[in-house]
Amino acid sequence: MVTEGRLYGRPFFVPVFLVSNVTASTRSKLVAALWVLAGALAFSLLFASGKLTGGTIAAIQIIFIRYLSGFATVSGLVALQPRSWPAIRASQRRWLHFLRAFCGVAGGSCNIAAATLMPLADAAALALLQGMFTMLLAVLLLRERVTRGQIVAALLCLAGALVIVRGNAPSGGGMAAIFDAGLAPLLAILGAFLIACEIILIKFLTRHETALSMLLHVNGFASLLLVLPMLLLWTAAPWQQLALLALLGPMAIAGQLCNLRAYSIADAAWLAPFGYSSVAFAALIGWVMFGDVPSLAAWIGTALIVAGGLVLIRR
């Protein structure tokens, strides 16, 4: 048994046992949580794409295919909604779109490369540091006030990151192990910082731009940014792999639309914990596909980062 809802004027269906015998408010929250979970799954698959290809295709090439196919997808959406074009053409903030695209390209490349070189669950947990970095950037750039609770939350996130990095070090105990962890954790942390920069830009752009305008600009600029590197660095791959990678663009767009839909019908603070399901999805993919079993350090570090993130959301 299923019950029908509406998404952008079209029907979608949710199992009845998930939404029956509850109030309308609770039902809408449950539906919103399902949208967040769907978005987290989509981005987890994108995150794992480098490892799923066996590490034979460079992260920057995967990102290029993702944004190019994403641009084609959004162009199709714009073509189906011609009334959205005037607002897109009238945009006065293209340099901010370009900067956002640069941060997205660099951050996404770092994240995929890190996930290729280390356990998926560990890389996904370090990616959650974007919440801490977003808070710090908001304080520095947007002049937002920082509270004692936010400082404690940031320290929890930092402690969790150190535990995970230390767990990926090949040497024995001690703080010196952190410096032996290699490039992968550093790439994951850099990726989290760059995605936080993108989030700050998104926060500003959403006040002035439509969703389609933001999606079209970021995917278009990102594709242009990567054309020259791809002419120099393109690696031949089986057409089957390239065809599967071409699905990353529509998948990313679908993930973003899932999140937009979720946050339009429920509060961000209530939905945020469901966003952390990306770590669980990454751990599941790593376990099923590659036999990666998260270590005790990974569980402890992830718990600290999630706890810090939840405190930041509550504040």
Q: What is the pLDDT of residue 9?
A: 47
CA 195 to chain centre: 8
Query: In this predicted model, what pLDDT tens digit does every residue of 207-219 receive, in sequence order?
Result: 888 888 999 999 9
Task: Report in angstroms the alpha-carbon separations of 179 from 48, 56, 167.
Answer: 25, 27, 11
Give the predicted TM-score (pTM) of the model: 0.81
Q: Report pLDDT for 33.
A: 86
Residue 313 has pLDDT above 80, yes or no: no
* The pLDDT of residue 311: 80
What pLDDT, on a 0 to 100 scale, did the predictor assign at position 7? Answer: 46
Report whether pLDDT(58) > 80: yes
pLDDT of residue 181: 53
- Look up the domain containing 35 and give its range: 2-314
Give the whole-angstrom CA distance, residue 97 versus residue 95. Answer: 5
pLDDT at 30 exceeding the cut of 80? yes
Q: How confident is the model at residue 205, as a pLDDT? A: 87
- pLDDT tens-digit profile of 245-296? 999 999 999 988 888 888 778 776 677 778 788 888 888 888 888 888 888 8
96 has a pLDDT exceeding 50: yes
Q: What is the pLDDT of residue 175?
A: 44
Instruction: Between 135 and 107, name the one with better pLDDT.
Output: 107
DSSP secondary structure of 67-111: HHHHHHHHHHHHHH-GGGHHHHHT-S-HHHHHHHHHHHHHHHHHH
Q: What's residue 170's pLDDT? A: 63
- What is the pLDDT, as a whole number, of residue 6? 47
pLDDT at 217: 93
Q: What is the pLDDT of residue 188?
A: 92
Tell me the pLDDT tens digit for each residue of 145-165: 777 888 888 888 888 888 888
Report the chain's mean pLDDT, rounded to a whole number.
83
Is 5 in a helix, a strand, or coil? strand
Q: Which one is predicted more confidently, 225 or 25?
A: 225
pLDDT score of 268: 67
Please give the Cα distance from 310 to 73 (Å, whole number).
33
Number of folded domains that form the chain: 1
pLDDT of residue 18: 47
Per-residue pLDDT band for 31 (boundaries 50, 70, 90) equals confident
Q: Tokens at residue 227, please?
A: 């054309």
Q: Which of 5-14, 266-275, 294-303 has the highest mean pLDDT?
A: 294-303
Helix (H, G, I), strand (E, B) or coil at 12: strand
Calpha distance 287→291 (Å, rounded): 4
